[in-house]
Amino acid sequence: MLKAHSSVTALLRYTGISIPDKVATCRNITCMQHLFGAVRWRSKFTAAPLLTAQPARALIDEQIAIQGRFLPPHWPVTVRAHMHSEEGDLWEAFSHYKTNENGVVNLTTDHSVGGSYVGCEPMGLFWALQPAPSAREGLRLRKKDVETPYVVQLSLWEGHVSSSKRPIEDEQTAGRLAASTVERWYMTPHTRRVEIRQNGIVGTLFLPSGPGPFPAMVDLWGMGGGLNEYRSALFASKGIASLSLAYFGHKDIPGPLDELNVGDDYFRSAYNLLQDHPEVCGERIGLIGLSYGVYLVLRMATHIGVKPMCVIGINGPLGSYDKFPGIKSGDVVNYQMLDEHGNFSLRHFTMPSMIPKENQIKFEMLECPLLCIVGEDDYNCASMETANEIEEILRAAGKAQLFTRLSYPGAGHLIEPPYSPNARVSLWTVKPKKINAIWGGHPAPHAAAQEDAWKKMLDFIEYNLRK
């Protein structure tokens, strides 16, 4: 300690700092560490455990680097993620690790040995989120207010724990070592959200920051109805204007909520509205649809006189099957669209052989590239059979070069932006009776499919709308 004292005193004299002898000779020289990083000394104190997550604020498709430090070496620890949905339901995920010889756990490089997933999955705590045991049944996590983030709490725990083994919702429970918070956004700060209620069109337009005109997408979802904005918001955050378009089950569209009350004129008007927008490059517009939205965007591209530059279809049918749309909630049971477990499924009804020829898309009329994304574990739509049929039709028409397929084993129906939790089964309707829809998909391969498909979708859009 005398040696340390003489070194500090000499350093103070060299820098010209005047300090009383009694301070210079003090055994506690912690303040010197702040002033002079090169000063080292032994201490009986160790740093408290630390959990870091960087960046703490990011878009939903960006990776977060999570690391725990200042822990005992070769020590079992749990990293937990939890958040509350906009409806107030608790979602959580757990991963189990052992620290390395330096007392560090790094989720980017280390393998989880248990919990909600196993293996090296840097974003596993996000895509593995599931409703807590106390939450309601049949939940699906979907962002409604895209102008606010998901706020995810991360925490570091001693030992390997999970909600099924011991309750840890109380953050004061013994064993919690450190915590951190991250924000997950669908919109960058200067992305603009514009509600559209014009000429009967119901939608939301998202515009990137900066000067336009921008390439653009028309974004359609499935027969779940309503207005889903989060994919469009993320497109705009990547520099692509996007119109999220409602067509079914929305209060601002005239007619019964449980019936499809719009036709070709509605979709043509929506396309033209986007094409004529002063901040959109009218010659560089693409279409994207999921589920029944696939049929609609393919119909737009081939039957109603608009000329998109590209189309993306995610797990959808090649035509409209009899008695649907126009199906009412009570008709689900009548049409026997339930599987052996009582879950709603349209897989059988979307087989190409089940769709009358007069209701099928005339793919020989397609003039733009089509990216077909298939979840091979899709339990709600005959996606693989549909992709096979489309490819065969285009090949016979001499247009095979327009077709690209991305096919993912273990992925289900709901292939969404990266790191979104998959719901294999979720609530479909409560009237006249409670019925769940089965979507399919296994957590890890479905998450891998979402990550890969999103990157390739963006590449596809960039190539076809900016070339």
Answer yes or no: are the C-beta atoms of 137 and 423 closer than 8 Å: no
Point out which residues pair with 337 in neighbouring strands: none
Overall residue count recorded for the chain in this entry: 467
Amino acid identity at 293: G
Q: What is the SS3 assignment for 122?
A: coil
Taking the C-alpha atoms of residue 407 and residue 259, their distance in angstroms, rounded to an integer, is: 32
Q: Where are the alpha helices (DSSP H) in 203-330?
A: 230-237, 264-275, 292-303
Indicate which residue of 162, 232, 237, 291 is catalytic.
Answer: 291
Assess whether 413 carries a catalytic annotation. yes
Q: Which of 73, 225, 95, 70 is nearest to 160 (CA)?
A: 95
The one-character DSSP state at 325 is: S
Indicate which residue of 258, 413, 420, 426 is catalytic.
Answer: 413
Q: What is the SS3 assignment for 393?
A: helix
**Which residues, other chains included, contact 270 with Cβ-Cβ below 8 Å and sequence gap of 6+?**
201, 203, 218, 243, 245
- Give the tokens for residue 184: 């997950």
For the purposes of burial, counting CB atoms within 10 Å of the CB of 399, is it exposed (0-12), middle (13-18) or buried (19 or more)? middle
Assess whether 291 carries a catalytic annotation. yes
Assess whether 85 carries a catalytic annotation. no
The one-character DSSP state at 55 is: S
Residue that the structure tokens 């506690």 belong to: 28
The one-character DSSP state at 357 is: G
**Which residues, other chains included, contact 390 with Cβ-Cβ below 8 Å and sequence gap of 6+?**
318, 363, 370, 372, 403
Indicate which residue of 378, 383, 420, 446 is catalytic.
Answer: 378
Amino acid identity at 246: A
Taking the C-alpha atoms of residue 416 and residue 41, their distance in angstroms, rounded to an integer, is: 53
Taking the C-alpha atoms of residue 97 and residue 122, their distance in angstroms, rounded to an integer, is: 13
Q: Please, what's the b/e burial string for 446-467 (b: 16 or more CB within 10 A of its CB; e: otherwise)?
A: bbbbbbbbbeebbebbeebbee
User: Which residues are identified as catalytic?
Assistant: 291, 378, 413
